[in-house]
A and B are shown apart, each in its own frame.
Chain A
């Protein structure tokens, strides 16, 4: 599984766009990049997944450069409710043969949104 590196914490004011970058220098050809969000006292929640270029959904955008050695999660106009820990994960989304996949969560990036 590819190792990921992301900032431990970030602060942002309400209404700003927040970009969280994750480095994954040893990403493999079949690996996808997946981001999760975790609020205090809750389980992680899938936000977005991508392989290359840009992916956008109703929650966030994910930018992946051509070399795929990093990715940036972009949260538009954050609010206080976006205060959470954000995890970047990299891995092969295909079944391992046993039909399951082991996710490796690092410590994530703790985003604090300030009023």
Chain B
């Protein structure tokens, strides 16, 4: 049982490049989330998806887009990467009615030069 799987684990981009961070969960969870974590900070919510076909903005959505491809997969896209988007990105998922208990992936470390 893999839980929440994120790819890639590491990525280096140049300013202006685009890329998609992938996330998949095998726990049959309805809700999925994307967070970013900057050094010495807590996690900040970028986007979340309550169910397949729905997405909503979180605290820091600017510069990002998301796609809930199906129940298992939730991707995060950076259309034109900026140095301010250098961060560690975490994907998470949860069961309906248990949004306080989220299961996190191992993270993607992204550097934008």
| A binding-site residues for B, Cβ under 8 Å | 32, 34, 41-46, 49, 87, 89, 91, 93-96, 98-108
Contacts and interface: CB of A to CB of B under 8 A. Distances in A.
A102 B90 CA distance: 14
B104 A99 contact: no
B97 A93 contact: yes
Return the 4 tightest CB-CB contacts between A and B, nearest first: A101-B99, A43-B104, A105-B42, A99-B50
A99 B43 contact: no
A41 to B, nearest CB: 7
Contacts of A104: 42, 45
Given A46-B102, A89-B100, A101 B94 contact: yes
A106 B42 contact: yes
Contacts of A96: 99
A106 B44 CA distance: 9
Contacts of A91: 99-100
Interface residues of B, number: 34
Contact of A101 (B31, B43, B59, B106): B31
B25 to A, nearest CB: 12
A93 B100 CA distance: 5
A101 B42 contact: no
Contacts of B41: 107
Contacts of A95: 50, 96-97, 99
What DSSP secondary structure best describes chain B's contact surface?
A: loop
Interface string B62-96: 00000000000000000000000000001010101
A60 B68 CA distance: 35
Contacts of A34: 100-101
Nearest to B56: A98
Contacts of A32: 100
B105 A101 contact: no
Interface string B13-48: 000000000000000001101010000111111001
B81 to A, nearest CB: 22
B74 to A, nearest CB: 11
